[in-house]
Amino acid sequence: MANAALAMTVSAFIPCLLFAALAPESCAVLNADEEASRAFEEATEARVLWYGIDRPADVVVTSAGGYPLDATFYQAVKGAVTAAGAVRAGGVVILAASLSEGVGSPEFQDLFRLHADPETFLDRTTHSPEVHVDQWQAQMLAQAERRAEVWVYSDGLSSEELGSLYVKPLASPEEGIDRARTMFPGECSILYLPEGPYVVPVLRERRGQASPPGPA
């Protein structure tokens, strides 16, 4: 009977385990059973790549995590948003993405045409009850831009197209690194997050446990 009850508890908990793997901070742990709680923790640790850092970096170089997330700008934004959590205020995020399928939906593209810059976008969306299709991703990018500049290297969109999307176009990632070094004379700290949105950078003091090395 006890095993049957445990099986029922874990079965009911499976949706939360799956959600924990994708968004661990948003899923509350149910304390109904010790085994289920332990399963939650294991699922979270197995899926999410926690990357400990001692301090925010001057520059974060990242990607969109490969196909399919780097196929459109809409999806690739997730890499820049994640990197914003590891960069210093006033720093630079360098994002490399294919963008072979373009910007995204027509509604997503219209958001950039209707709002000249990130601050205008955030001001209007904050004070308006109207919600647009695909607004969320543009809003996340605009919020990231409040913390740091976002530079993008891609062979899928032209410099003009990238320039209209609140980001600065790059001819190569190396160009971005060289340019960023001039912004931070002396010792410029650079953090590489090649897995993009699949990595969660966390300050070690917040994570409270041993973690991989921080910025180089």
Q: How far apart are CA 71 and CA 74, in angstroms?
A: 9
Instruction: Specify whether 79 is located in the same domain as 95.
Output: yes
Instruction: Specify whether 76 is located in the same domain as 114.
Output: yes
Cis peptide before 215 (omega within 30 of 0): no
Write the Ramachandran bin of 14: left for phi over 0, alpha for psi from -120 to 50, otherwise beta: alpha
Range of the domain at 25: 2-47
**Cβ proximity of 151 and 95 under 8 Å:** yes
120 vs 210: which has the higher pLDDT:
120
158 vs 132: which has the higher pLDDT:
158
| Residues 127-141: tens digit of each pLDDT | 888 888 999 999 999
Q: Is residue 138 part of a domain?
A: yes
How much is the pLDDT for 206?
58
Instruction: Specify whether 56 is located in the same domain as 101.
Output: yes
Instruction: Specify whether 31 is located in the same domain as 65.
Output: no
Q: Is residue 98 part of a domain?
A: yes
Instruction: Specify whether 185 is located in the same domain as 101.
Output: yes
Q: Is residue 213 part of a domain?
A: no
Instruction: Specify whether 126 is located in the same domain as 155.
Output: yes
Q: Is residue 215 part of a domain?
A: no
Instruction: Specify whether 38 is located in the same domain as 117.
Output: no
Mean pLDDT confidence for 75-102? 96
- Of 149, 134, 63, 55, the C-alpha closest to 99 is 63
Instruction: Specify whether 186 is located in the same domain as 123.
Output: yes
Instruction: Specify whether 22 is located in the same domain as 113.
Output: no
- Of 174, 178, 147, 176, the C-alpha closest to 162 is 176
Instruction: Specify whether 97 is located in the same domain as 151.
Output: yes
Give the number of domains in the chain. 2
Least confident of 45-49, 78-82, 97-101, 199-203: 45-49
Mean pLDDT confidence for 114-143? 92
- pTM, two decimals, is 0.74
Q: pLDDT at residue 3 above 70? A: no
Q: Is residue 216 part of a domain?
A: no
- Helical residues (DSSP H) of the chain, grouped into ranges: 2-22, 34-47, 73-84, 106-114, 118-126, 135-147, 159-163, 173-183, 204-207
CATH of the domain at 115: 3.90.226.30
Q: Is residue 198 part of a domain?
A: yes
Tokens coding 214: 């921080």
Instruction: Specify whether 79 is located in the same domain as 27.
Output: no
Q: Is residue 214 part of a domain?
A: no
Q: Is residue 212 part of a domain?
A: no
Instruction: Specify whether 21 is located in the same domain as 93.
Output: no
Indicate the residue among 31, 47, 63 that finishes a domain: 47
